């Protein structure tokens, strides 16, 4: 990718033009997508994406440029353009003259693939996906099965005027099964989409037969679901993707992007009790082979396990370089970006509520009437207040401590900072699930997660 001498010249060039901090990020991706409908190939594409991003700080003001002409002459010109655009700060500075002492380290391969993408041909992939197709057809009502396979192999390199010189390789693989069921009354879809920072061994770690069947069964369940009840009630939220609510309605409020501008209601609350004691909330970029894991972040800082909330008390925010400059908090290896076309900002990695000690059955025991939100769907959040509404993908009525008939159309409505105080019990079955999180610096892979947990009251919007 980039020569050390080129990076050094670039950084010195930027410093000489008045930048307080200069960073260059280079990456190269190989991407492959495969989409099958009823095992017919609908789409098969492959691509190489590559480019560099130059980011300069003038105080806390940031300018950014990207290009995919990686020649030294062009990179120097891009840096010049940026400094010129910044204008008034463009005086020559003696700091540009000194040598840079890059402290580099190679990645240890903590999340590396066992079965790299190139070791199997495309027919092999179709055969493995066919196992999911077969398993998804759990009944005659399943009319169509769509399979989508995504493979990413990303190499990055970051160098900065603070001597950072790091490289990382991130291989990620994910497949998504969508089963479509239809009867006289309606059409419903069920899905399952495992993904990890691994190669093609994903098909062994997350067997297609298991996830295919789960998607098929979910579609059938929804076909017989009745309209959901409405009103305030106790809600048990399922594990794994159930964590999406707190990702959106709590996690985003703890990123310095929101905290530094004081647009988050959780600004300046370190050390305060903001959640129920049952809650420990963690953002862990080091989780082995996690969908959102990496050895270094996109600013070249080592990732870490950051405890955000410990037994209800706010312990840390998620801090990138700019956020650290603005707030004084220690960086947490949270600077992330979709690709070279975005400057990094503070982002989540694998964020979850830690496992508790209540047996799952106990959560339901004392509920006279409530909702079991087994699988969550999508939703929206206002970042300032944490107000959210989320659709329940697969839900059931709880009556007298028992999980009864399936319901559809349920929406959970509330405020993140309020709901987190109402978590009364957390089970011991934490699981994570992969997703894509969209924000200022683009869409990045993240895991959300939690054990089953009981919230004493959430407003359920439904049809009934």
Partner 1 sequence: MTLQEAKTYLLERARERGVELEALATGSRELSLQARERTLEEITAAERGGIGVRVVKDGKTGYAYSEELSPEALDWVLAEAIENAELQSETGGFLPEGRPLGKSDLLGEGLSAPVEEKKRMALELEEGVLRDPRVQQVGAAIYSEREFQTELTSTRGAEGGYRSGYAYQMVSAVMAEGESLKQGYELKVARELFALDPASTAQEFLHRTGRLLGARDLKSGRYTAYFEPSAFLALLSAFIDLWSAKQVLEGKSRLAGRLGQKIASEAFTLYDDPNHPEGLMNAPFDAEGTPTRKVYLVREGVLESFMHNSVTARKLNAESTGHAQRSYKGVLDVGPRNLIVAPGEGVTLQDGVLITDLMGVHAGANSISGDFSLQALGLKIEGGEAAYPVENFTLSGNFFELLERIVATGRELEWSVMFLAGASPTVEVAEVAFAGA
- What are the distances in angstroms from CA 252 to CA 106, 416, 440, 458? 31, 10, 11, 20
Residue 119 binds partner 1 (CB under 8 A): no
Residue 41 binds partner 1 (CB under 8 A): yes
Q: In angstroms, rounded to a whole number, what is the distance separating the alpha carbons of residues 395 and 366?
A: 18
Residue 98 binds partner 1 (CB under 8 A): no
Q: In angstroms, rounded to a whole number, what is the distance separating the alpha carbons of residues 108 and 180?
A: 42
Per CB under 8 A, the segment of 18-26, 38-46, 150-158, 447-455 that binds partner 1 is: 38-46
- Least Cβ distance, residue 182 to partner 1 (angstroms): 16
Answer for which of 47, 99, 109, 140 binds partner 1 (CB under 8 A) is 47
Residue 22 binds partner 1 (CB under 8 A): no
Q: Which is nearer to partner 1, 359 or 378 (CB)?
A: 378
- Least Cβ distance, residue 441 to partner 1 (angstroms): 12
Residue 81 binds partner 1 (CB under 8 A): yes
- Applying CB under 8 A, the site for partner 1 has a residue count of 35
Sign of CA pseudo-dihedral 280, 284, 287, 290 = positive
Residue 117 binds partner 1 (CB under 8 A): no
Residue with token string 């190269």:
28
Q: Which is nearer to partner 1, 91 or 99 (CB)?
A: 91
Answer for which of 108, 123, 184, 328 binds partner 1 (CB under 8 A) is 123
Q: In angstroms, rounded to a whole number, what is the distance separating the alpha carbons of residues 281 and 170?
A: 25
Per CB under 8 A, the segment of 85-93, 256-264, 300-308, 374-382 that binds partner 1 is: 85-93
Q: In angstroms, rounded to a whole number, what is the distance separating the alpha carbons of residues 107 and 298?
A: 13
Residue 28 binds partner 1 (CB under 8 A): yes
Answer for which of 8, 9, 20, 49 binds partner 1 (CB under 8 A) is 49
Residue 50 binds partner 1 (CB under 8 A): yes
Residue 144 binds partner 1 (CB under 8 A): no
Q: Which is nearer to partner 1, 79 or 221 (CB)?
A: 79
Residue 379 binds partner 1 (CB under 8 A): no
Residue 46 binds partner 1 (CB under 8 A): yes
Q: Which is nearer to partner 1, 1 or 459 (CB)?
A: 1
Answer for which of 68, 183, 186, 263 binds partner 1 (CB under 8 A) is 68
Q: Which residues bind partner 1 (CB under 8 A)?
A: 28, 32, 34, 40-41, 43-51, 61-69, 78, 81-82, 84-87, 121-123, 126, 341
């Amino acid at each position: 990718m980039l020569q050390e001498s080129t990076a050094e010249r670039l950084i010195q060039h930027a410093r000489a033009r008045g930048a307080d901090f200069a960073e260059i990020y280079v990456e190269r991706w190989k991407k492959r997508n495969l989409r099958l409908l009823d095992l017919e190939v609908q789409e098969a594409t492959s691509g190489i994406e590559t480019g560099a991003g130059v980011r300069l700080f003038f105080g806390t003001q940031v300018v950014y440029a990207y290009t995919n002409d990686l020649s030294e002459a062009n990179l120097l010109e891009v840096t010049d353009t940026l400094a010129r655009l910044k204008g008034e700060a463009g005086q020559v500075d003696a700091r540009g003259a000194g040598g840079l002492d890059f402290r580099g380290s190679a990645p240890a391969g903590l999340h590396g693939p066992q079965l790299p993408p190139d070791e199997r041909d495309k027919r092999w992939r179709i055969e493995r996906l066919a196992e999911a197709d077969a398993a998804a057809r759990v009944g005659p009502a399943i009319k169509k099965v769509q399979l989508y396979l995504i493979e990413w192999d990303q190499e990055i390199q970051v160098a900065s005027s603070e001597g950072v010189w790091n490289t990382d390789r991130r291989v990620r693989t994910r497949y998504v099964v969508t089963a479509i069921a239809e009867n006289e009354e309606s059409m419903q879809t069920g899905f399952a989409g495992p993904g990890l920072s691994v190669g093609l061994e994903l098909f062994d770690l997350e067997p297609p037969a298991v996830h295919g069947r789960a998607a098929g069964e979910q579609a059938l369940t929804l076909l017989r679901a009745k309209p959901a009840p409405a009103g305030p009630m106790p809600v048990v939220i399922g594990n794994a993707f159930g964590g999406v609510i707190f990702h959106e309605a709590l996690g985003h409020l703890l990123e310095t992007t929101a905290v530094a501008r004081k647009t988050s209601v959780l600004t300046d609350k370190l050390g305060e009790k903001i959640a129920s004691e049952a809650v420990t909330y963690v953002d862990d970029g080091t989780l082995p082979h996690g969908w959102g894991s990496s050895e270094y972040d996109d600013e070249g800082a080592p990732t870490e396990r950051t405890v955000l909330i410990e037994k209800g008390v706010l312990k840390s925010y998620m801090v990138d370089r700019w956020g650290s400059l603005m707030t004084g908090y220690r960086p947490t290896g949270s600077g992330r970006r979709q690709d070279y076309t975005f400057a990094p900002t503070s982002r989540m990695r694998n964020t979850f509520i830690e496992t508790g000690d209540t047996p799952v059955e106990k959560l339901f025991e004392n509920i006279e009437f409530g909702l079991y939100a087994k699988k969550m769907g999508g939703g929206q959040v206002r970042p300032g207040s944490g107000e959210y509404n989320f659709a329940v993908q697969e839900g059931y009525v709880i009556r007298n401590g028992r999980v009864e008939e399936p319901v559809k159309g349920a929406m959970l409505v509330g405020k993140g900072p309020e709901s987190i105080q109402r978590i009364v019990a957390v089970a011991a079955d934490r699981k994570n699930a992969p997703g894509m999180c969209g924000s200022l610096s683009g869409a990045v892979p993240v895991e959300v997660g939690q054990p089953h947990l009981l919230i004493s009251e959430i407003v359920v919007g439904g049809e009934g």
